[in-house]
Amino acid sequence: MEAGADGLHVDIMDGHFVPNLTMGPDILRAVRAAVPNAYLSVHLMVMRPDLYAPQFIAAGADTVLIHVESPCDLAATLKSIRELGKRAGLTLNPETPVTALRGYAALLDEVLVMTVHPGFGGQAFLEHGVEKIAALAEWLPELDISVDGGINADTGARCAAAGANVLLAGSSLYHADDMRDAIAAMRWQAESARKS
């Protein structure tokens, strides 16, 4: 946050929906305690987001992003997130078409486009995500469009030009020589790309 990020994005993986296993609500609670005023976006890559969304909200999430591919009642889960006063979003895996969001638009604050296969950090950016962002920006212009996976200043600018307004970057920032410079460069390139 001191390097100039707008917020933190926390990837939650359950070892079933994706093979990797990350952290549970207690770790998010510790993050919230460490950065009480930071915007926290929580991305649930789990089989039962309906069970876990309330727990992560209680732990401090501002936005909860669930997967359209999760085998649960998506509409009820999105409604429950909003009933708890938080922002709700659906996430699309790389192979999932934009049309999978049909019927849910009224329940959404944000759509997250995955530009890697979810589960591990450090993967290369999948280019066809840019077309998906453009299609979403045309169809649902009132929603935030975020993008996750292989985002750096260059891929971030292409996503921003297509209509993404939330760039989620991990490896490119954590491996940068200076995170403050890397965030500033990403922001400048993305804002320039959106204007042009």
148 binds Zn ion (CB under 5 A): yes
Q: Least distance from C-beta 23 to Zn ion, angstroms? A: 13
Question: What strand order describes the sheet that includes 144-148?
Answer: 7-13, 39-45, 63-67, 87-92, 110-114, 144-148, 166-168
153-162 and 129-139 are packed helices; what angle lies between their axes, rounded to 10 degrees? 30
Q: Least distance from C-beta 195 to Zn ion, angstroms? A: 27
- CA Rg value for the chain: 16
Q: Which is nearer to Zn ion, 11 or 110 (CB)?
A: 11
Look up 62 and say whether it is catalytic: no
CB–CB of 159/129 below 8 Å? yes
Annotated catalytic residue within 144, 148, 177, 181: 148
110 binds Zn ion (CB under 5 A): no
Cα distance between residue 141 and residue 135, in whole Å: 10
Q: Which is nearer to Zn ion, 124 or 188 (CB)?
A: 124
Q: Least distance from C-beta 196 to Zn ion, angstroms? A: 27
Restricted to residues 38-97, the positions that interact with Zn ion (CB under 5 A) are 43
109 binds Zn ion (CB under 5 A): no
Pairing state between β 7-13 and 39-45:
parallel
Look up 148 and say whether it is catalytic: yes
Which parts of this chain interact with Zn ion (CB under 5 A)?
11, 43, 148
